[in-house]
Every structure is written in structure tokens, then in C-alpha cells.
Structure 1
Amino acid sequence: MIPASYAQRQMWLLDQLEGPTALYNIPLVLRMSGRLDVVALRAALDDVLVRHESLRTRFPQLAGEPYQEILPPDEASVDLTLVPTPADELESAIARASLDVFDLAAEIPLRATLLTPVSGQPPVDRDSLVTGECVLVLVVHHIAADGWSVAPLWRDLSEAYAARCAGREPGWEPLPVQYADYSLWQQELLGEAHDPDSVRAGQLAYWRQALAGAPEELALPVDRPRPATADHDGGLVRLDLPAELHAELAELAARQDVTMFMVWQAAVAVLLSKLGAGEDIPIGSPVAGRTEQELEDLVGFFVNTLVVRTDLSGAPTFAEVLGRVRQAALGALDHQDLPFERLVEELAPVRSVG
């Protein structure tokens, strides 16, 4: 029995807490035109399933703990659903397909819907060829993928589709490892919690010191009270960055020996402080979590969260703030092996469903 990784376990717990929800779906949308070979696409989707074990993994539980049940390739298949859709209803159809709910214990975490045209030139054969404007909607549950996974998923699907259209299997090199290997490696790397010489103990000690006395919540002037239960409603604010300003920021980063990420991290910290959040600004930042080259081509849930704490006391200049952010960010990256979920459990801050 292969245990769920720390990130998978946390996602599973959230799924248990939230109940049936599409909150952690990752929708991937590809618009296509011309002649689409549906048979080849179905075969290519199954090729991707064979290549990436994470996409054919279910999460049953034993004694209240989830584990990875990896289905054999001949027992897992993507059900590509064809939905004839008028052009003026594409956006709503994409939204509906993206909101399908997964049963993590019983289903593989990947679905595929092909929105096909209903007007104009008729399809040659709906079971084999579709012509015109089509939209492929892939929905992956976050327990099986992250943002980095999008590139290898599309790349492998494209290569497999091209191969199947040519009447052959994809000729890619086998992956050196699978996600289950990473899960076991992660447990071995971190070591036992009671071992003072383990990686887990050393990194936990760092984070205890780095976050000692940090505020558990930033006090910001908001336009409404926080609800008793999170409703997950959000908004989108567009920020356009002129090329000239971007060039100046890049020059600033080079002069201060920081990355562009550190510049923006510092800017956000200063902004929050000016809005009333105080002088101690901890900001959670996602990192890819793929610290080994062998993990780069895998579809899986590797992302981790690091807390970058910025000290704005003493009226520092922005250059001084950049120096503080650089030190905090590099320290965080040096101690990124400890999963954020484990850190939260160890530090036990006050938590709320709001």
C-alpha cells in the first residue's frame, strides 16, 4: 500500500471537509479547428494515462487515512464525452464541463469533454472524424496535478495524438520515476519526527525560529466582514505593466542582486503595510517543489507553500526591504522540503472554516 504524499493527504482532507465540490478542479481548455480524429484522440488520452500513474490513481482510505491505488493501464481509461454545442453556448458549456465533481475514492482524477459544432459543415463521422471548430476540455483534480504539470500533460498528449494519427504508438522515452516513487522518497528524505538528526527536525527548527511571533492574520481594512464559512467567491483585477517599467524593475533587480519575484514580493509587502497590516508581513508563496531533475516531466501534485516573512520595521528604504526579502526567500528555499501541511500541524495556529 502506497501512502498519499503530504500534499495529496492535505488535498484529500480538504475534499472530505468541503464535500462534493469543483473547487480544486484544474480545467484545461484547447480550441481546435479543422479535421479532428476522435479515435486517435481517445487513444492518445489513454496513452497519457499509461505514461503518468498519477492520472490513474484513486484515493480510498484505510483506518481513516488515504492511500494511492494506482490502477493498471488496462483497467483505466478516459471517457471522452462528445457534446454537440452551438457556437454561442461554448463558454457556458466549458464552464459546465469544468465544474464536474470527482469522487476521489472511486474515480480517476481526469475527465475529458469534446465540444463539437452543431452548425455549418456537418461532421464526416462523429465516431471518427469531426470537422470545424472544436473545444477540448480536460479537467484534472488538483490531487493529481499542479500548475507545472500543465506543460508535460499537453506536450505528451500532443505527441501521442500525432503518433496515433500516423497509426503508431508514441515513441517517447520511459519516465525515470513516477509520482508514487516521489511519495516514498519524500517520506524517506524527511525521516522520523522523533529523530533529532532528521531533515524533518532540522527544517522544522528553522521554521519555528523564522516564524516565531509572526502574526497569524494580517489586519487589513476590508469592505465586508468575513463570513462564518468561506464562500470562495473571488474577483479579478487586471494589472497592465508597461514595458518601460518592466525594464526598470529588471535593472533594479540586477543592481540589488535579487530576482524579479523578490521585487514583487517586496512591493506587495510594502503595499500591505501601507494599507494597515503593520510592519511584520508574512506572505505565503507557492514553489514548484520539484527539487530533482527526474521530477520535471511528471504530471503530479508537487507544489509546496513557503512563508516569506518581511520585516518593515525601522523605516527601511526599498533597497533595504529588497535585502530583507532576499534573505528570507533564500532561507525559505533552503528549507522547502518540509511540507507546509506538516508545518501547520506542528505550529498549530488558530484555524477557521471562514
Structure 2
Amino acid sequence: MTPLSYAQRRLWFVNRLEGAGSTYNVPVVVRFGPGLEVGVLESALADVVERHEVLRTVYGESGGEPHQTVLGPVEGRPAFEVVECSAGEVEARVEEFARRPFDLVVDRPLRVRLYSMGAEGSVLVLSVHHIATDGWSEGVLLRDLAEAYGARRVGRVPGWEPLPVQYADYTLWQRDVLGSAEDPESLLSRQLAFWNGALEGAPAHWIYPSTGLGRRFRPAEARGCLWTSAPICTRSWCGWRGSTAALC
């Protein structure tokens, strides 16, 4: 059985501890004009899911340890749902769908729904659990989807070369490099020992000034407008500061 990466283990543990939830849902929303060919899009999505095994992986448990199982291209393909709605209600529909919880043991980490608004076009929602995606991966997903759609639209299959590495290969490489926490000589054990020593005496909780300190919180959202260069500026600033724009 293939283990999970250490980042995946954390997400899996939270999902088991708190139950199926939407905290780590990553929605990708694309709006199309009225000329979208729905059957072509469905075929293109099937191509993308077949190409990327992590999009059709479920995460079970054996002997108290999580493991990943890659489903076949057909079995692992998410349902492609088309829902008719008006332009006035599509935003609420998208939000409701994007908040649907994932149970990582039984649910595929990708859900798909297309909201059709007739002459006003349609909205595609890809709801992906964070265990199978991140900010960088979203660009790969959309790029491959666009390429597959373009190929299928003219009656061809995408001209991709097979991927030399899948995410499951990375997890095995990570385990091989870091070793096991049970082995005191492993790189993982030595790094843990270093940081335990470096952080000895540090406060157990970092206290930030807040009027809501100590209260339980639930995920929420904030909406606003950003200028088009904001993502580039954010990445540049983070690179200068040696930090990341991602918060997990």
C-alpha cells in the first residue's frame, strides 16, 4: 500500500478528527460564453482525470495508518452534472456546491458541476480537496483542461506525453529521503530533534492581539476587488521576504 505524504497525512488526520468538512475545499470556477460544447468539455475533463492520478485517489486506513488507493480512469471519473439555473441565482448555487464536504475515505477529491444559464453562458465549478491540489496545481489543471478541450473539439485526443511522475511517486521518494520517525538516525528524526532543541522554551501558543482570542472559529470568506497585477506583486513581495503567499 502506498503511504500519504506528510502534508497529506495532516489533512487526512483533520478530516478524520473533525469529520467530513469543507474547510480545505479549493473551488475553481470558470465562466463560459454561450458557445460551450458540453459533451466536449466532459470528455476533456475525463482526459485530465485520467492524466492526473491524484484527482482519482481515495484515502483509506489499515491498521491505524492511512494509505492511498488510485482508482482506474473510469471508476475514478467524477460525475459530470449539468444544472439549469438563472444568472441571478448562479452565484449562490456555486457557493453551495463549493462548500459541500469531502469524506476523504470514500469521496474522490474532485467534484464537477456545470451551471447552464442558457443564452447567458455557463459556469463550471471544479471543487477539489486540498489533499489533491494547491495554488500552483490550479494553473496546471486549467491549462490541461483547455488543451484537452481544444483537442476534443476538433476530434482528436490530447497529444500529451505520459507523465514521468505522479504524486504517489513523490510520497515514496519523500519517505525514502526522510526515513521514519522510529529510526533515530533518519533525516526526519534528526530534523525533529534539531527543531525541538531550537524551539525549547518557546511559548506553546503564539499570542496575536485579537478581540476574539480563544474563541472557536469557522472558515469564512472576505470579498473585495484587487487590481490585475496584485498576484504578481504578492509573489514578488513574498519572494523578497522569504515567505509564502499560501496559508494552510
Q: Does 1:177 align with 2:165?
A: yes
Tell me which residue corresponds to 2:186.
Answer: 198
- After superposition, the Cα gap between the structure-2 partners of 1:201 and 1:37, relative to the gap in structure 1 and judged at 3 Å, is same
Tell me which residue corresponds to 1:261.
Answer: 238
The structure 2 residue matched to 1:217, chosen from 163, 184, 205, is 205
Tell me which residue corresponds to 2:128.
Answer: 140
Runs of 5+ consecutive residues of structure 2 not aligned to the other structure: none
Runs of 5+ consecutive residues of structure 1 not aligned to the other structure: 122-131, 248-258, 266-284, 289-302, 306-354
What are the superposed Cα offsets for residues 46-75 of structure 1, whole Å, 9 maximum, x if unpaired? 111111110010112112221111012232
Tell me which residue corresponds to 2:143.
Answer: 155
Whether the 8 Å CA contact 1:42–1:78 is kept in 2: the answer is no
Shift, 1:188, TM fit: 0.4
- What SS is found at the alignment partner of 1:2? coil
**Larger relative contact order, structure 1 or 2 (CA cutoff 8 Å, min sep 6):** 2
- After superposition, the Cα gap between the structure-2 partners of 1:29 and 1:238, relative to the gap in structure 1 and judged at 3 Å, is closer
What are the superposed Cα offsets for residues 24-64 of structure 1, whole Å, 9 maximum, x if unpaired? 11000001113111111111111111111100101121122
Tell me which residue corresponds to 2:43.
Answer: 43
Larger radius of gyration: 1
Alignment RMSD = 2.8
Tell me which residue corresponds to 1:83.
Answer: 83
Amino acid at match of 1:60: G
In structure 2, what is the Cα distance between the partners aligned to 1:10 and 1:186?
15
- What SS is found at the alignment partner of 1:148? helix
- After superposition, the Cα gap between the structure-2 partners of 1:181 and 1:234, relative to the gap in structure 1 and judged at 3 Å, is same
- After superposition, the Cα gap between the structure-2 partners of 1:90 and 1:240, relative to the gap in structure 1 and judged at 3 Å, is closer
In structure 2, what is the Cα distance between the partners aligned to 1:192 and 1:91?
46
Tell me which residue corresponds to 1:56.
Answer: 56
What does residue range 104-123 of structure 1 map to in structure 2 within 5 Å? 104-118=104-118, 121=119
Shift, 1:8, TM fit: 1.3
User: What percent of counterpart residues are identical?
Assistant: 43
In structure 2, what is the Cα distance between the partners aligned to 1:137 and 1:110?
10
Amino acid at match of 1:261: C
What are the superposed Cα offsets for residues 181-216 of structure 1, whole Å, 9 maximum, x if unpaired? 001110000023354543223322432343233222
Give the number of aligned pairs.
243
In structure 2, what is the Cα distance between the partners aligned to 1:158 and 1:148?
16
Tell me which residue corresponds to 1:73.
Answer: 73
Worse-matched range after superposition: 174-183 or 96-105 = 96-105
TM-score, normalized by length of structure 1?
0.62
- After superposition, the Cα gap between the structure-2 partners of 1:138 and 1:16, relative to the gap in structure 1 and judged at 3 Å, is same
Shift, 1:80, TM fit: 1.2
In structure 2, what is the Cα distance between the partners aligned to 1:201 and 1:20?
31
Structure 1 moving runs of 4+ over 6 Å: 237-241
Amino acid at match of 2:217: D
TM-score, normalized by length of structure 2?
0.87
What does residue range 97-108 of structure 1 map to in structure 2 within 5 Å? 97-108=97-108
Shift, 1:221, TM fit: 3.2
- After superposition, the Cα gap between the structure-2 partners of 1:3 and 1:139, relative to the gap in structure 1 and judged at 3 Å, is same
- After superposition, the Cα gap between the structure-2 partners of 1:87 and 1:54, relative to the gap in structure 1 and judged at 3 Å, is same
Shift, 1:87, TM fit: 0.8
Shift, 1:287, TM fit: 8.2
Shift, 1:78, TM fit: 2.2
In structure 2, what is the Cα distance between the partners aligned to 1:222 and 1:68?
39
Tell me which residue corresponds to 1:331.
Answer: none
What are the superposed Cα offsets for residues 118-142 of structure 1, whole Å, 9 maximum, x if unpaired? 4xx4xxxxxxxxxx42110000011
- After superposition, the Cα gap between the structure-2 partners of 1:214 and 1:6, relative to the gap in structure 1 and judged at 3 Å, is same
- After superposition, the Cα gap between the structure-2 partners of 1:38 and 1:9, relative to the gap in structure 1 and judged at 3 Å, is same
